[in-house]
Structure 1
Amino acid sequence: MDKQVSFLDQLFDQGILHDSGVDGLYARSDLFEEVITRFEALAKSFGKDETSEAMVFPPGMPIKDFETSGYMKNFPHLAGTVHAFCGNDHDHAGLLQCLEVGEDWSENQKPTDVALTPAACYPLYPILARRGALPAEGAYVALQSYCFRHEPSRDPARMQMFRQREFVRAGSADQAIAFRETWKQRGQDIMKLLELPCTVDVANDPFFGRAGKMMGSSQREQELKFELLVPVNSAANPTACMSFNYHMDNFGKAWDIRQQDGSHAHTACVGFGLERIALALFRHHGMDVESWPAGVRKALWG
């Protein structure tokens, strides 16, 4: 039996996750949520003296900001948008008839001004832009958001709706790069506390199409993205549980985020895949948290 399915079935059997009938969309138990909450507290403790503010975003963002991000150009295969019924009484009657006989009822569903958030940092950038020029020290923001990516899978570490905990740095190139390098080391330090095996390697985003392959190669060559990989389903294909990204001034230009001298801001972010880290803990330490190693329990529960 496939190892991914086997691990997912174990999670279902133990009541840690609950099947919805749609791959990558699961209900989560109180225990699963508690592990995530404990991990978030641990992660936030590493940057608590540096962050200037914290925000939590809903799973949707304005469609205009979504378009500005370039996500639809680069990752259309992963994107999701919110549609709603926009018909009249006659259209409603037709919708009811379609539902009755099991036919397609989506004809009068139209796009709204909301897109599903693909990355936790995206809603932050237009907020920073609207404030005017960044202070001399830049911005250092802690974020959390539910995110969506359309890639249904039986791999429990590849959910369609998931949460990201992020820290974002906006300012000069030196500030952004130093931030990313600091968090690359912190990420490994956190994994040591959790007694999870990991490696850090250069990576690229899953850009779409032929041109996307060239963009991915360029991203790797410039070492703009690194991932912290943990074996969750197999040692041969470890899962990216953290990412460390330097965007140069791409987002600064896209949203017109300025520094004090008028130049466009550079940005960097570190992202923690909260569900993936929880799954890694259950995979390596077992389904009974009471039997997890003492050091892991101390790091999470104190």
Structure 2
Amino acid sequence: MNKLRDELVEAGLLISTGIQGLFGRSEKFERVVDALDAYITRLGADQHAEVLRFPPAMSRPEFERSEYLKSFPQLAGTVHSFCGNEHDHQRVLQCLDRGDDWTESQKPTYVVMTPAACYPVYPVVAQRGALPADGRIVDAFSYCFRHEPSLDPTRMQLFRMREYIRIGTPEQILAFRQDWIERGTRMIDSLRLPNSIDLANDPFFGRGGKIVASSQRDQNLKFELLIPIEYDGRLTACLSFNYHMDHFGLLWGIKTEDAAVAHTGCVGFGLERLTLGLFRHHGLDPHAWPQAVRDVLWGHR
């Protein structure tokens, strides 16, 4: 059992589907998500970012090229579909009638679930040729999938991620990241949520992944803004500030104006987690939230 999850479901804010980490959302929940999304847009208005929106799936060849499976095979979600003939279809129906496994005729398609909002962006930018002198900033937003079923409502399998992605020189990326660490902290402070910034690493897979994670921390490549959301006091990463160095620039052949390999970085906002943080700390009725918080989210209208 999970106390926070049970409260949210009982209040009708989240709708259980019977699958861990897969929820429906109520109108009240979505109103908060929409307000947060609009707030992030206002915070980043001076970035003059190019807005790109993709569905929550990407091409399998591009996904394979991204090396996500090299680092996080345990989180990936592929899309399969029936690829058989009429005889195979009859076998599927018979399996369904018997309650047996019916997936033998399901084969992988050329579509993969998007693991992070920035992943479809890099090949698009690469196709355009060399970057302008000041690099590029992209605003991306997508549902994302990660296969980590859990009773913890802060660890959903399908969730929304808003990102600003910076592509350019190392100096441009590091300045961008530091700026957004400061902006992100001010944002969460304005929402009256307890928070802290800490060094972090991604959940790389296997024994080799532990070495990569240690290297990521040693190089100060990833920071997270943490908010206590669960009742046991555990801290949940709600914003992340990432410097990928030349990883994606090399993979996709992205070049700067002077033909050097581009570096990339991003700031990511977990919209469901931020929404859960607001409900956890300010109560289940947004009308009763502190007026200062309501003004930040809805007072501009």
Residue 179 of structure 1 corresponds to which residue in structure 2? 176
TM-score normalised by length of structure 2: 0.98
Contact 1:117 1:148 (C-alpha < 8 Å) held by counterparts: yes
TM superposition shift of 1:180: 0.4
Between the aligned partners of 1:141 and 1:301, the Cα distance in structure 2 is: 25
Contact 1:248 1:268 (C-alpha < 8 Å) held by counterparts: yes
Residue 131 of structure 2 corresponds to which residue in structure 1? 134
Contact 1:57 1:145 (C-alpha < 8 Å) held by counterparts: yes
Shifted more, 45-54 versus 151-160: the winner is 45-54
What is the 5 A alignment of 1:188-199? 188-199=185-196
Q: 2:258 aligns with which of 229, 250, 261?
A: 261
Deviations along 1:24-44, one digit per CA (max 9) or x if unpaired, are 000000111110110111111
Residue 103 of structure 1 corresponds to which residue in structure 2? 100
Between the aligned partners of 2:45 and 2:231, the Cα distance in structure 1 is: 34
The code of the aligned residue for 2:210 comes to K
Between the aligned partners of 2:234 and 2:221, the Cα distance in structure 1 is: 22
TM superposition shift of 1:130: 0.5
What is the 5 A alignment of 1:86-125? 86-125=83-122
Residue 287 of structure 1 corresponds to which residue in structure 2? 284
Residue 206 of structure 1 corresponds to which residue in structure 2? 203
Between the aligned partners of 1:236 and 1:219, the Cα distance in structure 2 is: 26
Residue 298 of structure 1 corresponds to which residue in structure 2? 295
Between the aligned partners of 2:181 and 2:47, the Cα distance in structure 1 is: 16
Contact 2:55 2:142 (C-alpha < 8 Å) held by counterparts: yes
Q: Per the alignment, in what secondary structure is the counterpart of residue 22 of structure 1? A: coil
Q: Per the alignment, in what secondary structure is the counterpart of residue 283 of structure 1? A: helix
Matched, 1:57 2:38: no
Task: State how many pairs are aligned.
Answer: 299
The code of the aligned residue for 1:148 comes to F
Aligned-residue CA RMSD in angstroms?
0.8
Q: Per the alignment, in what secondary structure is the counterpart of residue 75 of structure 2? A: coil
What is the 5 A alignment of 1:40-51? 40-51=37-48
User: Structure 2: which 5+ runs fail to align?
Assistant: none
Residue 9 of structure 2 corresponds to which residue in structure 1? 12
User: Structure 1: which 5+ runs fail to align?
Assistant: none
Contact 1:196 1:284 (C-alpha < 8 Å) held by counterparts: yes
Between the aligned partners of 1:7 and 1:253, the Cα distance in structure 2 is: 43
Q: Per the alignment, in what secondary structure is the counterpart of residue 239 of structure 1? A: strand
TM-score normalised by length of structure 1: 0.98
Q: Per the alignment, in what secondary structure is the counterpart of residue 46 of structure 2? A: coil
Contact 1:51 1:142 (C-alpha < 8 Å) held by counterparts: no
Between the aligned partners of 1:173 and 1:138, the Cα distance in structure 2 is: 11
Contact 2:3 2:231 (C-alpha < 8 Å) held by counterparts: no
TM superposition shift of 1:108: 0.9
Residue 36 of structure 2 corresponds to which residue in structure 1? 39
Between the aligned partners of 1:236 and 1:223, the Cα distance in structure 2 is: 25
The code of the aligned residue for 1:64 comes to P
